[in-house]
Amino acid sequence: MSALPPVLDRLDRDLDKSLERLFKLLRIKSISTDPAYAEECRKAAEWLVADLKTIGFEASVRDTPGHPMVVAHHDGPTPGARHVLFYGHYDVQPVDPLELWEDDPFDPAVKEREGMKVITGRGSSDDKGQLMLFVEACRAWKAEHGSLPCRITLLFEGEEESGSPSLKPFLDANKDELKAEFALVCDTDMWNPETPSICTSLRGLVGEEVTIKAANRDLHSGMYGGPAANPVRILAKILAAIHDDEARVTIPGFYDGVEETPSQVLQAWEKLGETAESFLGPIGLSQPAGEKGRSVLEMVWARPTAEFNGIYGGYTGKGFKTVIAAEASAKVSFRLVHKQNPEKIRAAFREFVEKRIPADCSVEFHPHGGSPAIQLSYDSPFLAKAKDALTDEWGSPAVMLGGGGSIPVVGDFRTYLGMESLLVGFALSDDRIHSPNEKYDLRSFHKGQRSWARILAALAN
Amino acid sequence: MSALPPVLDRLDRDLDKSLERLFKLLRIKSISTDPAYAEECRKAAEWLVADLKTIGFEASVRDTPGHPMVVAHHDGPTPGARHVLFYGHYDVQPVDPLELWEDDPFDPAVKEREGMKVITGRGSSDDKGQLMLFVEACRAWKAEHGSLPCRITLLFEGEEESGSPSLKPFLDANKDELKAEFALVCDTDMWNPETPSICTSLRGLVGEEVTIKAANRDLHSGMYGGPAANPVRILAKILAAIHDDEARVTIPGFYDGVEETPSQVLQAWEKLGETAESFLGPIGLSQPAGEKGRSVLEMVWARPTAEFNGIYGGYTGKGFKTVIAAEASAKVSFRLVHKQNPEKIRAAFREFVEKRIPADCSVEFHPHGGSPAIQLSYDSPFLAKAKDALTDEWGSPAVMLGGGGSIPVVGDFRTYLGMESLLVGFALSDDRIHSPNEKYDLRSFHKGQRSWARILAALAN
């Protein structure tokens, strides 16, 4: 452990330099979901490779049918050293609606917000900021000791925000190169700004885009209103039928594989003190909209959902147009828990919709990603080490949480590489990821680097 | 009647010249609903004024808080001559989706389509083409006789496609100038290409834009999916509740003022031979979506509707975004019949929505137009004259129809000027008004001019 203090000191000293590097990465508009930004995604990958080479990684941009991967390798201090894979993603969410941003989403800065120094910009938290924590920990370690404490493989993805279409084939094709003893993933939250956290479960995700087609063209609602099928009306009826009055999903078979959470786990979550008021208050809401009789933490960590992420049809511009649209679409996603099977859910949803399409209308589906939920094994030999390292850095005990969002890579690591993942993240719930005005606390950026340095030291032993 | 033949001959001879004039008007992108085209709307008004002056009208562009009106006057042959007001509108619908147009919507041409010569372009039918019929009839009359057969006032509106916000105050403020014995309105269809028609009823319209607001920002559907209210889900539930399984509108009080159509009228409509197949087949549909147990013509001419003209919320771009939107909106309109009261319908709709908004969410409404249905008096002394004139021109008896679309000006003429309106139009049901590839048959454009010349001659006596 004597190797650690100078590394931590260096991270303290070099904080401004690490910020400059992060800003360079944040300025690259690597929005993966919009094809218009494909070149920016590649630019981000190339920037990372160049940076990793300066630390001594053998790093390369690896093409995929979509946006490229970054893969990098560094030997451990000895031939038999512990081998870990660190995963992050360099792509970011779209920034619309742009008019709601207080700062340019791609011109990062450190600003004072509610008494805290924060890094502003799209990706500052999700996931460029978190990804760079580990890179900076490696850089400091290398600078101080000329080596890293573990053998390290890095995998940075560029399609995490658009369903990771290339990830599975890439893992499958590069098993031997990527397999390590276990994976470290930095894409999650702390419980609160004082409490470091390890995430032990994550919901899965199935995305579907559904388009209902009625007449062969847009119609004048005066000339055709009444007799002509209106796809917006059909779509609204279908979406409205997906939840019952208790907010349960009505799609047949939807709850297959969902387990009741053990009461001791529910009790531990209860102790965290989260209430409907504390959870919903900051976002301006007060009434839990999920299944009746469940706590908000259970809703997010252990219950599946059906969400409508987007809907559009007919005239959506300013003013009014008395039109009956030829088609209407919705983007629908399902958060999955436990043993729910993504492809069975997808099929059940499609059948549910198809049954409700009038005989003279039609429906088209477009899949967007699919991944099962994951549950970290409590027996992992590395969990305790990471927990201790985090507790040392933050001065308060690390807690084990569930996660509501999906990190498909964790399931894919299990499936393709036979690896479990340790999910440690330093984001905060008010980071506004996926929203306008995304930020990352400067404190997370600083102590996150130190945390990874400590975890690497602990894992080396 | 001896004055008529040379006028008709001149209209035949000058058809190409009249087409050139129409093309000039069609090239002006006078889309009233989109503020970006305000200057184009003014340009259309100015073009009309300049053209009318060449015929000897005292014409002027008249400012309103929105797009300007065109008002023009021409004396009759004698001081006591019949005085009629002719109304049309120079504004047009938006052209999106542009990629579905076979021709540039603002570069009109005469093309062969399904064996007919048609004029292509936005506004060719609705309503620039129809408006110019009357102008050309006046021009020919003036050229042949140095005078017009009636005293004529023209009113051309520029906001018909965007709810006519300036019309009522303009009529109210210019009553004395605009009042005539009755109005002629050219914004309707023929029953079929062989059968000239007079429209004796029109549905009214109430437009509402409803926006449901939930969280104070867009949310990550993984982090908040479950507990957080989703405005798309709330909106879908509300819209789905508006129609019952029989396609009747469930809003309390909605059917107040709706009368059952007399059986002899229903029988006359029956004789027109329209079926669900003939009405819906051309637009690619087959199942009437209106109230059960009514014919398609009754649905369109004599029954009210609730239509969803547009819906939008959340991520609507390419790809996928796992977001729970902060708000979602729909553009909803109601077609009214008989004595339904637009403002009572608006209030009932708002109450219906408000009752369904969760306690921690809110709703905003934005009104778009409101006009009652109209029913032309069968006792009008001018109806028979017009019917005979049309029968003479087309060689088959003119029929009296209902109209599904709203022409608010007809109600407004009644309210503000105490005038009834005679609705004669030469559009066809396949003109694709409000849709891509709008067209107007060259035959309508030619015989429509001749028809108005004949009607003016008949009304003069």
User: How many interchain CB pairs under 8 A, A with B?
Assistant: 367
- pLDDT number for residue B378: 64
Residue B1: is its pLDDT beyond 60? Answer: no
Answer yes or no: do A405 and B279 touch at CB < 8 A.
no
Q: Which residues pair with B189 in a beta bridge?
A: B427
Question: Among the listed ranges A277-281, A347-351, A455-459, B202-206, which one has the minimum average pLDDT value?
Answer: B202-206
**A414 phi/psi in degrees, rounded to 5:** -65, -45
| Residues whose CB is less than 8 angstroms from the CB of residue A36 and which lie 6 or more positions away in sequence, other chains included | none
Give the mean pLDDT of chain A: 94
Provide, as residue numbers in chain B, all residues whose Cβ is less than 8 Å from the Cβ of A96: 315, 317
Answer yes or no: do A284 and B237 touch at CB < 8 A.
no
Q: Where are the strands (E) in B186-237, listed by range?
A: 197-202, 204-213, 219-220
Give the mean pLDDT of chain B: 94
- The average pLDDT across B259-279 equals 88
- The average pLDDT across B16-25 equals 98
- The average pLDDT across A153-173 equals 95
Residue B262: pLDDT band (50, 70, 90) is: confident
Which residue of chain A comes nearest to B288, CA vs CA? Answer: A227
Residue B399: pLDDT band (50, 70, 90) is: confident
Answer yes or no: do A287 and B359 touch at CB < 8 A.
yes
Answer yes or no: do A34 and B317 touch at CB < 8 A.
yes
Mutate to test the interface with B, among A127, A286, A321, A332 (most CBs of B within 10 A): A321
Q: B73-98 pLDDT, tens per residue? A: 999 999 999 999 999 999 999 999 89
Q: Exposed (0-12), middle (13-18) or buried (19+): which is A83, by Cβ within 10 Å?
A: middle
- pLDDT number for residue A175: 96
- For chain B, say whether A312 makes contact (Cβ under 8 Å): yes
| Residues whose CB is less than 8 angstroms from the CB of residue A17 and which lie 6 or more positions away in sequence, other chains included | none
- For chain B, say whether A225 makes contact (Cβ under 8 Å): yes
Which residue of chain B comes nearest to A234, CA vs CA? Answer: B240
Answer yes or no: do A435 and B308 touch at CB < 8 A.
no
Residue A1: pLDDT band (50, 70, 90) is: very low
Contact A91, A44 (CB under 8 A): yes
A residues 132-151 lying closer than 8 A (beta carbon) to B: none
* B317 alpha carbon, distance to own chain's centre: 32
For A4-202+374-460, the fitting CATH number among 3.40.50.150, 3.30.450.20, 3.40.630.10, 3.40.640.10 is: 3.40.630.10
Residue A429: is its pLDDT beyond 90? Answer: no
Provide, as residue numbers in chain A, all residues whose Cβ is less than 8 Å from the Cβ of B226: 288-291, 296, 299-300, 303, 305, 335, 404
Token pair of A49 as six digits: 């490779």
Which among A34, A309, A318 has the least Cβ separation from residue B221? A309
- The average pLDDT across A410-421 equals 90
Which among A33, A318, A330 has the least Cβ separation from residue B321? A33
CATH of domain A204-258+304-371: 3.30.70.360
Token pair of A374 as six digits: 């994951």
Is residue A123 helix, strand or coil? Answer: coil
Provide, as residue numbers in chain B, all residues whose Cβ is less than 8 Å from the Cβ of A290: 226-227
- For chain A, say whether B296 makes contact (Cβ under 8 Å): yes
Which among A236, A315, A329 has the least Cβ separation from residue B331? A315
Q: Strand A69-74 to strand A219-220: parallel, antiparallel, or no bridges (unpaired)?
A: unpaired
Listed residue (A187, A150, A179, A203) closest to A382, CA to CA: A150
**B150 phi/psi in degrees, rounded to 5:** -130, 165
Residue owning tokens 């709709």: B349
Answer yes or no: do A33 and B324 touch at CB < 8 A.
no
Residue B380: is its pLDDT beyond 80? Answer: no
Residue A377: is its pLDDT beyond 80? Answer: no
- For chain B, say whether A365 makes contact (Cβ under 8 Å): no
Which among A163, A223, A232 has the least Cβ separation from residue B405? A223
Answer yes or no: do B434 and A243 touch at CB < 8 A.
no
Which among B315, B434, B435 has the least Cβ separation from residue A310? B315
User: In A27-152, which ranges are continuous DSSP H helix?
Assistant: 38-55, 128-145
- The average pLDDT across A131-135 equals 98
Residue A169: is its pLDDT beyond 90? Answer: yes
**Fold classified for B4-202+375-460:** Aminopeptidase (3.40.630)
Contact A318, B33 (CB under 8 A): yes
Each domain of chain A, given as residue ranges in start order, spans 4-202+374-460, 204-258+304-371
- pLDDT number for residue A266: 87
- The average pLDDT across B43-58 equals 98
Residue A408: pLDDT band (50, 70, 90) is: confident
Contact A67, A89 (CB under 8 A): no
Does a cis peptide bond (omega within 30 degrees of 0) precede residue A436?
Answer: no
- pLDDT number for residue A148: 97
ipTM of the modeled complex = 0.72
Q: A94-129 pLDDT, tens per residue? A: 999 899 999 999 999 999 998 999 999 999 999 999
Answer yes or no: do B232 and A289 touch at CB < 8 A.
no
- For chain A, say whether B292 makes contact (Cβ under 8 Å): no
Provide, as residue numbers in chain B, all residues whose Cβ is less than 8 Å from the Cβ of A163: 319-320
- pLDDT number for residue B377: 67
* Ramachandran class of A391: left when φ > 0, alpha when ψ lies in -120 to 50, beta otherwise: alpha
Tell me the shortest Cα–Cα distance from B81 to chain A, in angstroms.
36
Residue A358: is its pLDDT beyond 70? Answer: yes
